[in-house]
Structure formats: C-alpha cells, structure tokens
Amino acid sequence: MGASAAYHLASRGMKNVLLLEREQFFGLGSTGRCAGGVRYQFGTEVNIRLSLASLPMLERFKEELGQEIDYRKCGYLFVLTDEQDVYAFQRNVKLQHDLGVETEWLDKDEICRRLPMMSFEDALAGTFHRKDGLVDPNSVVMGYINAAQKLGVKTLNNTEVTGIRLRGGKVEAVETTQGSIKTRTILNAAGPWSGQIGRMAGVHIPVTPIRRQMLTTTPLQDIPSDFPFVIDFAQSLYFHRYGEGLLMGMSNQNESPGFDISVDEEFEVINMEAALGRMPLVEKAGRAAHWAGLYEVTPDAHPIYGATPVDGLTICTGFSGHGFMHGPVSGKLMSEFILDGKFSTVDVSMLDLARFEEGRLIKEYNVV
C-alpha cells in the first residue's frame, strides 16, 4: 500500500513524498509473505469493483512501470462442500455477472473432471474464473519502489515511525528512529501494525493481526502447468502451483490475535493431513519451505480508506487477507484522496473509519 501510494502520488506530480520503512528491505511485512493470489471472485460490489480496477493495473504493470511481475492467469477454482456456501456463492456469482465478471458455475462432475488428481467426492458445486491467478508480490513492491524513486520519491529503510506530533489536533511531524520529520500529511499504510501507528495519534483503528501460514513442496510431476488456484472453501484450505511443486495453506480459525510469525508446526500437521485428504499424491512430496505472515483483519473484512479524526492523518489498511491484489488501485485511490479530497477510480467512501462507530459494516463472505 505504501509503495503503490508513493508511486501514484508522485506520478500525479506531488513533491516531497517520503516513504518510511522500518525494515532493511521493502516487502518484509505481509506483502512479501502472501500467496500472490489475485481474483475477481468476491461477494460484495465494492470488492469486485476494486478487483475490476486493480487487476488490469497488474496486467499493464510491465508496460507502465517496466517491471516483470509474472502474472499467471491460472484461474481460481472454489470448491463448495457445504450447502450454505452454495447459496451464498450463487448470490455472489449473480452479483459478479451483474458487474461483468464471467465466473463459471461448476457441478461436481465438472470439478472432478478438471481436478483428476484431487478427491472431491463430497463437492456440491464450484466456481471458476479464468482471469483470476497469481502474481509475484515482491516484483510488484519493487516495481512501485523503483518507479517512485525515479519520480523523486525519497525512501528510507531502517527507519521506524515511533510517534506522531500533533498541534491543535493537526499533524505537525512524524517522529522516527532517524529523527523528527515535519509534515502536514501522513498516510498510515502499516498493514497489521497500523493500529500501533493510529495509537501514536490517539486514533483507534480496529485492525487485528492474525497469523496465517503456508508451506511449499518439492517438485511434483503430476501437477499440470495450468493447475488452478484451488480453494476448498469449507476448510479454508488452498493449493496452487509453486515452481515445480505446490504451495498449500490453510487458515486456522482458532488462531489468537498477535504479532507472532513463527510457524505453528502443530497446525502445519493439520494442514498437511487436510491436504493429503484432498490430494493424496502430496504424500510423494517433501516440504521445501514454510513461513507465516499476518492478516490485517477488520471487523467486516473490508479495508479502511481515507480520513481519521486527526487532521492530516490518513489511512489505508485492513485488507483482511486479500490486500495484495488491491494494492495497485488502493495506492491510486489514496493519491486521489490526498490530492483531490475524494475517491474517483472506485467509490470507496463507504469504507471509512467512521463506519465502525456508526454501525455501517459490510460483510464479505469470500474470505479465505
């Protein structure tokens, strides 16, 4: 979010844009740890509209920013085994069709035909959209950073924000481990840590860090090159190709909030057993790597864009497990908000911080 916003602000001609990152390198937060999935299949109009704006920006990325990002349109295939999910997805697919997203509805036979190496005898239905797929997250981050730098954005690594100085309820400066920097405008794009930045200015941001983890396997010859991003929705279990092997993940619904990103090995066994149940050939593979990262979760699983009660402090956070794909458009939207005072590319005005106090929550069903 920070890299995309910095680029979009500079490309609109804004001077003196400074990007602060506490780590030695960019992309070490959630973005560099994510699964790289990008999809149009969502359950609310605003999320679908964000994808309709953001994914074409990824398609044009190389042309516009000169950086290869390895966009593979393998499609997302959601498999549904729970009757309630079938009803919810029927509604979602109708909404997707109304907005021009041509998601296919699959019956059990079609799912089994498309995934012969998987066991989905209990499948009730599924959905597939051929333009969903995978993109390399670090390439996107570095594409935005390099392009922003060329446009004059200054970037500071190893620089942690430690405080926000206010005067008369307005932002006056940001305090960092490298000293104090005067500014009238701050964009809080600290992902899972954005609540901490909010507290520095006395603003409550309802973003909870929740650990999510995944693992990759050694090469598996039987996985075809066009294997889709498969999601066993009821188990929150997913698989996609990763090099010559697979990447597999599963959301632990009992995970406690916190900043710990060590891999929970006990839960990894649960993930592996569930994966074996769906794809027995995984037994032939070894584990190549595993890691964990943090979802930045809001009470309604939608992001927060725009103003805070503090004059000059803006916010772009809370993407609840699907923020990487909405990074391009979100940075653009924040450049519009900061420079024009309104969102033009997509109307996200209903996703303001005030909605939590005013009870205007919008629930997203398609959360993995």
Ligand X SMILES: Cc1cc2nc3c(=O)[nH]c(=O)nc-3n(C[C@H](O)[C@H](O)[C@H](O)COP(=O)(O)OP(=O)(O)OC[C@H]3O[C@@H](n4cnc5c(N)ncnc54)[C@H](O)[C@@H]3O)c2cc1C
Q: Which among 69-77, 101-109, 288-296, 335-343 is the span making contact with ligand X, rule CB under 6 A? A: 288-296
Q: Is residue 22 involved in binding ligand X (CB under 6 A)?
A: yes
Choices 18-26, 43-51, 53-61, 62-70; region in contact with ligand X by CB under 6 A: 18-26
Q: Given the complex with ligand X, which of 151 and 174 has the nearer CB atom?
A: 174
If the CB atoms of residues 192 and 228 are measured against ligand X, the closer one turns out to be 192
Nearer to ligand X, 33 or 278 (CB): 33
Least distance (Å) from ligand X to the CB of residue 81? 21
Q: Confirm or reject binding of residue 81 to ligand X (CB under 6 A).
A: no
User: Which residue, chain included where needed, has tokens 């919810």?
Assistant: 88
Given 19, 37, 80, 314, the residue binding ligand X (CB under 6 A): 37
Least Å from the CB of residue 291 to ligand X: 8
Q: What is the CA radius of gyration of the chain?
A: 21
- What is the C-alpha to C-alpha distance for residues 34 and 320, in angstroms, rounded to an integer? 12
Q: In the numeric block, which tokens belong to residue 54? A: 């953001």
Burial of 38 (0-12, 13-18, 19+ CB in 10 A): buried
By CB under 6 A, the count of residues binding ligand X is: 35
How many Cβ atoms are within 10 Å of 257's Cβ, its own excluded?
13
Q: Residue 183: which region, alpha, beta or left (left: phi > 0; alpha: psi -120 to 50)?
A: beta
Q: In whole angstroms, how close is the CB of 360 to ligand X at the nearest point? A: 22
Based on the shown chain and the rule CB under 6 A, indicate whether residue 242 belongs to the binding site for ligand X. Answer: no
Q: Please, which residue, 83 or 160, has the CB nearer to ligand X?
A: 160
- Closer to ligand X by Cβ: residue 26 or 168: 26
Q: How far is the CB of 355 from ligand X (least distance, A)?
A: 18
40 is a contact residue toward ligand X (CB under 6 A): no
Does 8 engage in binding with ligand X (CB under 6 A)?
A: no
Least distance in angstroms from the C-beta of 106 to ligand X: 21
- Restricted to residues 139-168, the positions that interact with ligand X (CB under 6 A) are 160-161
Q: How far apart are CA 70 and CA 76, in angstroms?
A: 16
- Figure out which of the listed residues 8, 212, 241, 278 binds ligand X, where binding follows CB under 6 A: 212
Q: Does 198 bind ligand X (CB under 6 A)?
A: no
Structure tokens, 202? 């006395």
Is 187 among the residues that bind ligand X (CB under 6 A)?
Answer: no
Structure tokens given for 274: 């569930």
Name the minimum Å distance from CB 294 to ligand X.
5
Nearer to ligand X, 21 or 336 (CB): 21
Which residue number, 29 or 245, has a Cβ lying nearer to ligand X? 29
Contact between 30 and ligand X per CB under 6 A: yes
The mark string for 304-343 relative to ligand X (x by CB under 6 A, - otherwise) is -------------x-x-xxxxx------------------
User: Residues interacting with ligand X, by CB under 6 A?
Assistant: 1-2, 20-23, 28-31, 33-37, 160-161, 189-193, 212, 214, 293-296, 317, 319, 321-325
